Structure 1
Amino acid sequence: MNTGLKITAFAGAVAATFGAAYGVGTAVGPTGADQRPAAQAPHEQDPAGGGGHEAADDRAAGEGAAGKGAASEGAAPAAGGLQISEGGYTLALDTPRVAAGERTRLSFSVLDGNGRKVTAYQREHEKELHFIVASRDLTVYRHLHPTRAADGTWNTTADLPAAGGYRAFADFKPAKKGAEALTLGADLAVSGTYNPTALPAPARTAQVDGYEVTLAGGLKPGKSGELRLSVAKNGRPVTNLQPYLGAYGHLVALRSGDLAYLHVHPHGEPGDGATKPGPEVSFSATAPSPGTYRLFLDFQHDGKVRTAAFTVRAGQGDAAGSTAAPADRREEEKAPGHGH
C-alpha cells in the first residue's frame, strides 16, 4: 500500500450489523469517537497479519452508485464499497471506533443471510479477503492483511495516525457455489484531535521513500481506460520489481466524496512470459462517473511494499497524479512495510 480544528457537528446512525456508523462535522477541536478526515499514510505491514472532499460536485457524482458488477449497455458501471450489505452478505465491524495514533486491533467478520460468519472464501490475488482502510479525506490509506480464525472472525492491527472518519472495505468472493465477488464497506471512527487535510492537487508524479512514480493514461467515465505507472529510483528506471499479490503492482481507486471503490485490473502477471518486472505497470479501470478519484499504487522492491498516491479527475483529459503529502512521507519512514 500517507491546523487543529474542532468538530462541532456529528451524525451517528445505528448500523444493522455492528455498533454505529459515523459522520464527520466541520468545525474546530478534538473529535469524539466518530469524526473524520485525516492525514494520509502508506501501505503498512501488519505484524499480526498473514502474509499488509472534494467539492459538492464530486459528492453529487457519487450519489446513486451502489454495489458492484457490470453496468447495463450504455450505463456507467456500478461502484463497490458503498453498501454494508449486498448479495446476502454483510460486513460486521467488531471495532467501529479506535484511537488515533495508536496501534490497535481491528476485528470484523462477514455474515451470510442467516447471520452466520462466513468461513470459506475463494482466493483471489493470493488472498481470501482484501481489507482496505482509508480516511474520508483520502489522505490516510492502509492496505492490511488480516488473518481469519476458524470461526470466521478476521483480525489485524493498524496505526491510524489522524482522527476523523474512515471507511473500511472488505473485498472478497465467498466459496459458495454461484457466489459473486463483492466489496462491502463500513464506517470506522478514529477519535482524537481533528486536523482536516485538503486532497492533493493532480500532478503526474508521486515521490515515496526515495522512489518516483510517474502516471500516464486516464480514467474515463463509463469506459475502460488504461493507467500506466512507471517506477524509478535515483533517476533510474526500476526493472526488477518483485511480485506482490500476484502482480508487479496492486492499484486501488477511491472516488472523492463517497469513497466508491473501483476494481482495477493489472495487465499480465509475473511468469507469464510477456510481463516485465518494471519499470512500467499497467492497469485497466472504468470510472463510474465524472469526478475526482484517488489512486493508491502498491509496489514491492528490495523486499518492501511502498505506496504511491495520485489524484485523478475522470472526464477531464488525461490522468494526473499528486506528489505524496508530507504526512505520507513521515508515516512511510515509521512504517515497517505493508499490510493488506
Structure 2
Amino acid sequence: MQTAVRMGGYAAALALAFGAAWGVGAATRPPVAPPAPAADTSGVDMGDMHGPVVDGPSTAPATVDLTTGGLAATAGGYTLVPQATTFVPGQPGQVAFAVAGLDGRPVTAFDPAQMQLSVVRRDTAGFQQPAAVLGPDGVWRAPLTLPAPGIYRLYAGFTPSGGHRLVLGTDLFAPGDFAPVPFAPTRVAQVDGYQVRLDGDLVTGRSSQVFATVTRDGRAVTDLEPVGGSFGDLTVLRRSDLAQIPVDPGESPAPAPDDRSGPGIAFTTRVPTSGGYRVFLTFRHAGAPHIAEFTLTTREGS
C-alpha cells in the first residue's frame, strides 16, 4: 500500500505546537459513557413519510439558507423528519430519520451519497458522530446511545444531488435528572492515550486558521488516517445557541484512503459572533476514531 505523507502545509502548526509549553492543562471529558451498539428499531412507523421515494430534490427553491447551522429542521426546501425523539438514557438504540423534499417524500439522491451526523447534549457534553446508512425506504438509520439524561441536538449535514450543502437539526430527549457540565477554556485534550493541542485564535468576523497537533507518549503521530475528506473532522459549536459553524478542512484534493499525514491538521473557519465556542476534533489512527474536545473564547478582530 502506498502511503503519502503530507507535512509541508502544517509547518506553522508544528512550530506552535512543539515550541509551546503544554501547561494549559488537559481537557476533562464529561462523565458520560461511550455509545454502545444499537438495537434495531427500524419497524417504527414513519406515518406520513411512507409513499413513493423520489431520487433527488423536489423543486427546491433556488435560494438556500446556508446560515442555519443546525438551528432549524427546515431550510432550502428540505425538512429533517425523525421517527422518534425520545430515548432511554444509557440504553442502546437507533436514530432514524428522513430528509423530506417540498412534496413531503423522502429524498434518496445525495452528492456525495453520505450523511454527516453529530449529536451533543445542550450543555455540549457527550459529543458523538454516529455513522448513518440510507435504506431503500429513504430513511437514514444510525446506532445511537444517549448516555445520560438531558436534551440533545442532532445535526444532519448533507448535500442533495444538484443542490447546496445544508445542516439541519432537531432535538432528542433522554428523560431523567439533568445536571449540566461546566467547561473551562482549554486548548489541550487527553483522549484514549493521545495528547491533542489546538493552536490559533477564533477571530470574530473573519477567517481564522486553527491547527491541531496529535502526539502519543510524547511522540508525533505521523500516520493519521483520512476522516471525511481530510485527516480530521473539526466541529465548531457556538455555546450560546449550539449553532454549527462551517469549517474548511483545507485538503485539496481530498486524501485517498491509503494516504497518511500528521501530526498537524489545519482548518479554516469564520465565527460570526464573539463569545465561547466548543470545538471537537475527530481523528482516526490505527483503524479507530477518537474525539478530542476543546473550549475556546473568541478574540476580537482589528
Name the counterpart of 2:85: 96
Structure 1 vs Structure 2: percent identity of aligned residues?
36
**Counterpart secondary structure, 1:290:** coil
- TM-score by length of structure 2 reads 0.76
Q: Which amino acid aligns with 2:103?
A: N
Name the counterpart of 1:240: 223
Q: Is the 8 A contact 1:39 1:196 kept in 2?
A: no
1:291 to 275, 283, 288: 275
Name the counterpart of 1:111: 100
**Counterpart secondary structure, 1:99:** coil
C-alpha deviation, 1:45, in angstroms? 7.7
Name the counterpart of 1:157: 143
TM-aligned CA distance change 1:286 to 1:44, over 3 Å: farther
TM-aligned CA distance change 1:208 to 1:102, over 3 Å: same
C-alpha deviation, 1:139, in angstroms? 1.0
Structure 2 distance, partners of 1:195, 1:162, is 10
Structure 2 distance, partners of 1:86, 1:203, is 34
Alignment of 1:189 onto 2:178: no
Q: Is the 8 A contact 1:219 1:286 kept in 2?
A: yes
TM-aligned CA distance change 1:148 to 1:259, over 3 Å: same
Residues 4-19 of structure 1 mapped to structure 2, 5 A cutoff: none
1:166 to 133, 136, 152: 152
Q: Is the 8 A contact 2:38 2:144 kept in 1?
A: no
**Counterpart secondary structure, 1:243:** coil
Paired residues, number: 248
Gaps of at least 5 residues in structure 2 are 1-28, 41-63
1:218 to 201, 209, 216: 201
**Counterpart secondary structure, 1:143:** coil
Q: Is the 8 A contact 1:42 1:142 kept in 2?
A: no
Name the counterpart of 2:298: 314
Moved over 3 A (4+): 38-49
| Pair member with larger Rg | 2
Alignment of 1:252 onto 2:252: no
Gaps of at least 5 residues in structure 1 are 1-37, 50-66, 70-77, 318-340
RMSD, aligned CA: 2.5
Alignment of 1:301 onto 2:290: no
Structure 2 distance, partners of 1:201, 1:142, is 20
Residues 19-168 of structure 1 mapped to structure 2, 5 A cutoff: 39=30, 68-69=65-66, 78-123=67-112, 128-168=114-154
